[in-house]
Every structure is written in structure tokens, then in C-alpha cells.
Structure 1
Amino acid sequence: MSNITKKQLEEALKQCLLQKPFDKITISDLTEACGISRMTFYYHFKDIYDLVEYSCEEDGKKALQNLIIKETKQ
């Protein structure tokens, strides 16, 4: 279940970034978008920057996996 919550928070962050600058996004914005408590957010991440780091790592993993798949098809 924790990976689902992390993914939800990652998606909420990306959606918020489409609507307002990073420095205007609050933990409350993210938790309200996911329907979770602030305590749940802090169970998974120490702060919003930790969520950003997680999101970047996940996007990097996806990009590398896509590259490997593309290379193996050639």
C-alpha cells in the first residue's frame, strides 16, 4: 500500500506543478489532492523536497527502462 500512496503523492505533485510554481505548493495541497492526512505524507517523505527527489528517481528509472527496451528491440 505504501507504494500506491507514494505514487499518488508523486502524481499530485506533478498536477500541482501544472497549476502553480513549486514554491507555492504546500503539503496540504498534496494531501488534499490525495485524500490523505499530513501524517501519512510525513510517514513516506520527510518534506516536499524528499518527494521531489523520489519523483525524479522514479522518472529516471522509467526513462532507463524505456531506453533498455528500445535498445533490445533493435
Structure 2
Amino acid sequence: MKARIADTLNELLEHKELDKITVKELVDACNISRQSFYYHFQDIMEVVEWYQDQALRQSIEKSLAAPSYKEAIRGVVYETFQHRQLISQLMASQRRKEMELLFSRAVQTYLQELLRGKGAGVYGSPEDIETVISFCSFGLVGMMLSALNQKNPDVDALANQLCRLLTGEITFHFADRA
């Protein structure tokens, strides 16, 4: 039932902004009662969160099955662009800040699982690793949202840059000049 409600919401989002979709409209489109909706979800935002959690789980599974970090990251970039319209609709809502935070937390979880699952050669204290993961998640979300807003983004180039950044091929250091 949860998947049915989420799928229906996604269909509605193809034609209407998130802020303009009501629970009544969603339950009518699902052909279910309001009671059934509220048994599974508190509100429409919770449907969005549930759907994102499901998509995140699938992304993690695919990434862990990928032969390398580069293939795992590349797959997530392409998958994100497959949901371009949905993400754009969610970001156009009055809940944009909430959406950005949801996406950042999802990317953070994804990166944590990718590191755990692939046995990365990451060095540092747990606090430092969490700081880097948090920093990367916000940066990745920002870069992805920026690319999603471009008319004709070069998805291959973006995937390559993100892979190079996350695998350490691109590095920089601030140095004090005396």
C-alpha cells in the first residue's frame, strides 16, 4: 500500500507542484480512504521521505554490487538524472530547504554504506571521517542540484568529476604563505 501511495504521488508530481497536492487528491487518485492513507503516513511529506528511503536502499544495493567505487558513483549520478523531473518538482516546492536536507542526509547515508560495504582505505578518526562524509554529502547535493537545473548538463562529465573527487584523484590543500 505504501508503494502504491508513493507511486501515485510521483504520478501527480509529473503534472502538479508538491505544495498543491492535497491528501484528498492523493487518496482519490489511489482510490483508497483517508483512513487508509493515515494508517500508513502522517502527511504527504512522510510519503516523500518513505519514497526517498526506498530509492536510497536500492541505490545502496546497486552500488555495493558495482565492481568499483567509480562505477558505483557513476550509477548514482545516472540514476539521479533519471528522476530529474521528480527532483525538480520537489525542489520547486515551499519545502525546498527540507528537501535539500533530506537529500543531503540520504547522500550521507549512501556514502557511509558505500564506505562500509566496499571496505574503503579511509584513514582518520571516526569524527574526521564523519566530517568528510558530511562535507561531501552537502557538496554532492549542491553539485547535483546545480546540474539538474542546467538545460543540457553533461552527465558523463559530472559523473567523472564526482568520481575523481570522491576517489581522491582531485585534491587541494590550503597552505599558509609566510
TM-score, L = length of structure 2: 0.37
| Paired residues, number | 69
Match of 2:24 in 1: 28
For 1:16 and 1:25, the matched residues in 2 are separated by 8
Q: Work out which structure has the larger RCO, using CA pairs closer than 8 Å and 6 or more positions apart in sequence.
A: 1
Deviation per CA, 1:27-67, whole angstroms, max 9, x where unpaired? Answer: 11211121100110000001111111101111111111121
Asked if 1:46 is matched to 2:42, the reply is yes
Higher helix share: 1
For 2:25 and 2:66, the matched residues in 1 are separated by 37
For 2:59 and 2:24, the matched residues in 1 are separated by 30
For 1:71 and 1:33, the matched residues in 2 are separated by 41
TM-score, L = length of structure 1: 0.83
**What is the percent sequence identity of the aligned residues?**
33
Quote the offset at 1:70 in angstroms: 2.5
Asked if 1:7 is matched to 2:3, the reply is yes
Give the counterpart letter for 1:28 in structure 2: K
For 1:69 and 1:30, the matched residues in 2 are separated by 35
For 1:68 and 1:7, the matched residues in 2 are separated by 24
- Which of the pair has more CA radius of gyration? 2
For 1:71 and 1:41, the matched residues in 2 are separated by 40
User: Any gaps of 5 or more consecutive residues in structure 1?
Assistant: none
For 2:4 and 2:50, the matched residues in 1 are separated by 12
Give the counterpart letter for 2:39 in structure 1: Y
